[in-house]
Amino acid sequence: MDNLYPTFDKMLPREAKETLLGQRGLVVWMYGLSGSGKSTLANLLERKLHDEGKFIKVLDGDNIRSGLNNNLGFTDDDRAENIRRVSEVAKLFADSGIITLTSFITPVESLRANAREIIGDDDLLEVYVKASFDACAERDPKGLYAKVKAGEVKNFTGKDSAFEEPEHADIIIETESQTEAKSLETLYQAVISRIERG
């Protein structure tokens, strides 16, 4: 680390990029069980904001694990490194004025705290996309719960591996008890209040 010479002070300031884009950079960190609706909401919100002229990037757990983090498994250490890398990438996007929508299970509070520490309170909107294990198993959009039931998947969050209810969440979206449209509107209103530039 002694041979590193960061040049952040010489770069174009964040405010210039946000002015160009007409928006404030923000990381919307959506987490919850597999099948709770995180990716669905991220994709719907991306299209809605895009239609309004906003610049957005979606970071999805499966997509990231097939590329940037394809060398990581699902041990505790690998999960922590997965979230650390994603948090650093999301922070870079937010610093460029980009609205970044993330979709990661982020099962334990320590991982969420790490993301918050890296990204910073001012740039993070923490969103718990809540649905019970049974509801997610019934939806089973990726067929994972069927594989878990058949014993083909180990360390599955919510069954073999714990999912901790959040101590802190800026908003909770209960996809089990409300419609997709209502969930999207709740998320949209929370995000839009944070990204508008005065």
Domain range summary for the chain, segments of one domain joined by +: 21-195
pTM of the prediction? 0.88
Contact 178, 131 (CB under 8 A): no
- What's the angle, vertex CA 113, arms to CA 27 and CA 174, rounded to 5? 65
Per CATH, which fold does 21-195 belong to?
A: Rossmann fold (3.40.50)
C-beta neighbour count of 60 within 10 angstroms: 18
**And the tokens for 20?**
């160009």
The pLDDT tens digits along the chain (198 residues) read 666 555 666 778 999 999 999 999 999 999 999 999 999 999 999 999 999 999 999 998 778 887 888 888 777 888 899 999 999 999 999 999 999 999 999 999 999 999 999 999 999 999 999 999 889 889 877 877 777 677 777 767 767 677 899 988 999 999 999 999 999 999 999 999 998 754
Q: Which of 86, 122, 112 is nearest to 168 (CA)?
A: 112
Two tokens at 156?
A: 């599955």
Length of the chain: 198
Q: What residue type is assigned to position 6 of the chain?
A: P
Given a contact cutoff of 8 angstroms between Cβ atoms, the answer to whether 107 and 80 are in contact is: no
